[in-house]
Structure 1
Amino acid sequence: MRIHFIAIGGSAMHNMAIALHKKGFKVTGSDDVLFEPSVSRLSKYGLFPDKEGWYPENITPDIDAIILGMHARADNPELLKAQELGLKIYSYPEYIYEHSKNKLRVVIGGSHGKTTITSMILHVLKSTGKDFDYLVGAQLEGFDTMVKLTDEAPVIVIEGDEYLSSAIDRRPKFHLYKADIGVISGIAWDHINVFPTFDNYVEQFKLFIDTIQPGGKLIYSETDAILNDLVKSDHSEIEKFPYSLPAYNIKYGITNIIAGQKEYQLQVFGEHNLLNMEAARIICENLGINTEDFYTQMSSFKGAARRLELVGKNESAEFFKDFAHSPSKLTATIHAVKTQFPDRKLIACIELHTFSSLNKDFLSQYAHTMDEADIALVFIDKKTFEQKKMAPYAAETVKDAFAREDLVFYNDPAELQKRLESIVMKDTNLLMMSSGNFGGINLPNLAEKIL
């Protein structure tokens, strides 16, 4: 099989290219901009494009399939040539489904927690010696790639993103997988540039439930009122399994799950992570792993990359970074750190980086999300507004939106770094949250200076 990736540099795309290369396919690809880690990883497998850009001559009749990334526009020269030649064109979720039609498909959806739930399931399946394929949105310890595709594995576990599949396929990705077992972790409005109203966004999860195959199963968080109402209104002939917080305690800054007569010490913490763990436990139970074995393996789970990831610590302070960027994720992450370390001051910094978070009409969704932090910092790199062709706004607009008068706003990474370097990390935790990179601030170096 000869496969060509248009926009091979994307997170899922380059991992999928590597997975198919390992399977023995002849893989080529192109992109106009490539960043780490895709540059190093594609180079390692001999898949890095000879030159950046789009070249119609790359598209020839002997190509068996084109896989089109979301980064490629509808007028992409290579895409137009592929359409002219009548080649088979897939978005990557379409191709994943084609590959896994004969497997048991487990699809993890929801506005938050998808990567963590998927990661927990993969950790337990690997630790218990199960054979499985997967697609996950973060690099995991012990896993070479974020995608694995084989002919032999009977199960595939897929992180099901609700964002659009490609420029020529406007369906959300998780609609295309046709889950046998589906998860919805919660619903909180996101992707305002694609789903302009909350009702329109919620509708995507209703449609996801409709795609679960006859006789299939839905696992959902009953702690989410919107999701509860949605599930109650659904009359699909599928089994439904609600989940909520398990029994737990916190001793000496460590969270322990209580199951039966046993306690299982965890390396992760926060109620949102405990909810994620319950979803993962029910999935694993459906895949033949009992509760005791599940929690035993979860004791060694360190978390997915950038999800409450420990950057550094000393005897009385810890420095975390997290991928949180939406209002619901921001609230949950701050609450988790404050609950785990109630006697420490919490300095929380959020970078607004996505189209949704920067949209002035959406900004009010952040009201009171940082109330639990002792000191609240918000950063928007002034260059981000320029890159996204959006009009910048003043600090007062941000303070009003977050409903916090003492919030401090920065739009210059040098000024933010200066403030962070002045922090005295004694009986204090620092939490840095972003899907971006804080204007290039080196967080490990910062940790060394302040800790």
Structure 2
Amino acid sequence: MNVHFIAIGGAAMHNLAIALHNKGYQVTGSDDTIFDPSKSRLEAKGLLPESFGWFPEKITAQLDAIVLGMHAKADNPELLKAQELGLKIYSYPEFLYEQSKDKTRVVIGGSHGKTTITSMILHVMHYHDRDVDYMVGAQLEGFDVMVKLTEDNDFMVLEGDEYLSSPIDRRPKFHLYQPNIALLSGIAWDHINVFPTYENYVEQFSIFVDSIVDGGSINYNEEDPEVKRVVEASQNPIRKLAYRTPEYRVENGQTLLMTSEGELPIEIFGKHNLNNLAGAKWICQHMGIDEDDFYEAIATFKGASKRMEKIAESSSSVAFKDFAHSPSKVQATTKAVKEQYSDKTLIACLELHTYSSLNAKFLKEYKGALDAADQAVVFYSPHAVEIKKLDEVTTDQIAEAFQREDLIIYTNPEDFKNFLFQKDFQNTALLLMSSGNYGGLDFDEVQTQFS
């Protein structure tokens, strides 16, 4: 099968391209720019385009399918040529469904926790040598790729993202998978540039629950009131199975999970991660892993890439970076670090980087998000606001939104770096939360402060 990727360099797209190449497909692609790690990974497989740009001459009647990435625009010259030739054009999630329609599809949805839960499931399967197809949004230890496709595996585990499918398909990705087994971890308004109201955002999760195939099942976090309401209101003839955070305690910086066999030391920490673990356990049981085997495997799970990643440690201090950026994630992550390191001063730094977080109307959602920190810092770039063509955001608006009188706000990357590098981190837990890099912060440099 000959497949061409329009915008092959994206994090998801390049992984799918590699997965198809590994499966024996003929794969080509284009993009106007490609950065590492996508660039070097495509190059290693011989899939890196010879030149950057869009080349309509690459689109011919010999192609069996086009996969269209979100980075492309609706007027992309290659897309227009494909439409003119009447070629089959798939969005990323549509193509994944086509590859898994004869398998048992396991889809993990939610505003937060879905990458971690999917990663936990895959870790447990890998630990017990159970081979499954998958798509996950982070690089996992022990896994070469973020997408795996085979002819023979029975299960396909999919991280169910609620963002749009493609420039010409405005449906959320997770509406297209039609799960046999599903999980919903939490609902907290996000992607305000696509879902302008809270009600519109929540509606997407109702559609997801209704898309589960007849006779299928959903495990849902009953501690999230919106999740509970959405799932229990659905008329879909499916099994509805609730889960909640298991009992645990923290002793000397070690989280101990209560199990039927006694206390189990685990690598991850924080109430939200223990809640994620409870959901992952249910899904693994659906997939044939019993409780004891689950606990044996999960004890060695260290977390998904960029999720609560320890970047430095000294005898008295520790530093983490985390992908958290939405209000619910920021609040959960900050609380988790404070609970785990209650004897240390917690300095929590948040970069407002996404469309939602830089939207003046959305900012009020951050109220209380950094309250668990002893010292709270917010960084944002007015230049980023300009680039995203958003209304100006002022430091006064940010201070008002977080409702914390001692909040420190930086708008200049150098000022933020100076703040960090002049700090004495004795007996401190530093938490750096962002989907960006604070205007060019070198995280390796941060490590030197802890050596």
Match of residue 200 from structure 1: 200
**Residue 135 in structure 1 maps to residue 135 in structure 2:** yes
Match of residue 253 from structure 2: 253
CA distance in 1, matches of 2:236, 2:41: 43
Q: Deviations over 1:354-413 (max 9, x none)?
A: 111111110111111111111111111233123212243221111011111211111111
Moved more, 80-89 or 411-420: 411-420
Moved more, 22-31 or 257-266: 257-266
C-alpha contact (below 8 Å) 1:264/1:296 kept by paired residues: no
Match of residue 64 from structure 1: 64
Match of residue 155 from structure 2: 155
CA distance in 2, matches of 1:146, 1:387: 30
Q: SS at 1:285's partner residue?
A: helix
Match of residue 96 from structure 2: 96
Matches within 5 A, 1:302-321: 302-321=302-321
CA distance in 2, matches of 1:341, 1:209: 38
CA distance in 2, matches of 1:371, 1:188: 18
Match of residue 73 from structure 1: 73
Match of residue 26 from structure 1: 26
C-alpha contact (below 8 Å) 1:423/1:450 kept by paired residues: no
Shift of 1:262: 2.1
C-alpha contact (below 8 Å) 1:322/1:431 kept by paired residues: yes
Shift of 1:439: 1.2
**2:264 partner amino acid:** Y
**1:368 partner amino acid:** G
**Residue 405 in structure 1 maps to residue 405 in structure 2:** yes
CA distance in 2, matches of 1:391, 1:229: 34
Q: Deviations over 1:288-316 (max 9, x none)?
A: 11111101101111100011100010111
CA distance in 2, matches of 1:255, 1:446: 26
CA distance in 2, matches of 1:363, 1:44: 42
Q: SS at 1:3's partner residue?
A: strand
Moved more, 386-395 or 319-328: 386-395
CA distance in 2, matches of 1:286, 1:376: 42
TM-score by length of 2: 0.99
**1:413 partner amino acid:** P
Q: SS at 2:357's partner residue?
A: helix
Match of residue 4 from structure 1: 4
Root mean square deviation, CA, Å: 0.9
C-alpha contact (below 8 Å) 1:103/1:153 kept by paired residues: yes
> Structure 2: where are the runs of 5+ without partners?
none
Matches within 5 A, 1:250-399: 250-399=250-399
CA distance in 1, matches of 2:9, 2:432: 26
CA distance in 1, matches of 2:414, 2:438: 10
Q: SS at 1:220's partner residue?
A: strand
Q: Deviations over 1:234-292 (max 9, x none)?
A: 22210111010112121210111111132221111001000000110000001111111
**2:222 partner amino acid:** E
Matches within 5 A, 1:212-227: 212-227=212-227
**1:178 partner amino acid:** Q
Moved more, 245-254 or 16-25: 245-254
Q: SS at 2:93's partner residue?
A: helix
Moved more, 113-122 or 390-399: 390-399
Moved more, 75-84 or 245-254: 245-254
**1:290 partner amino acid:** D
Shift of 1:32: 1.0
C-alpha contact (below 8 Å) 2:382/2:393 kept by paired residues: no
Moved more, 33-42 or 160-169: 33-42
Q: How many residues align?
A: 451
Matches within 5 A, 1:237-248: 237-248=237-248
Q: Deviations over 1:197-224 (max 9, x none)?
A: 1111110000001110011000100000
Moved more, 164-173 or 405-414: 405-414
Moved more, 191-200 or 378-387: 378-387
**Residue 444 in structure 1 maps to residue 444 in structure 2:** yes
CA distance in 1, matches of 2:98, 2:353: 34
**Residue 175 in structure 1 maps to residue 175 in structure 2:** yes
Runs of at least 4 residues of structure 1 off by over 4 A?
none
> Structure 1: where are the runs of 5+ without partners?
none
Q: SS at 1:157's partner residue?
A: strand
CA distance in 2, matches of 1:362, 1:382: 16
CA distance in 2, matches of 1:258, 1:405: 39
CA distance in 2, matches of 1:61, 1:411: 51
Q: Deviations over 1:116-146 (max 9, x none)?
A: 0000000000111112000000000110000
Q: SS at 1:278's partner residue?
A: helix
Shift of 1:450: 4.2
Moved more, 112-121 or 49-58: 49-58
% identical equivalent positions: 55
TM-score by length of 1: 0.99
CA distance in 2, matches of 1:309, 1:131: 26
Q: Deviations over 1:83-119 (max 9, x none)?
A: 0000000001000000101100000000000000000
**1:218 partner amino acid:** I
Q: Deviations over 1:138-173 (max 9, x none)?
A: 000110000001101110100000000001111100
Q: Deviations over 1:401-447 (max 9, x none)?
A: 11112111111111111100112111110000011121121112212
CA distance in 2, matches of 1:82, 1:437: 37
C-alpha contact (below 8 Å) 2:313/2:450 kept by paired residues: no
Q: SS at 1:195's partner residue?
A: coil
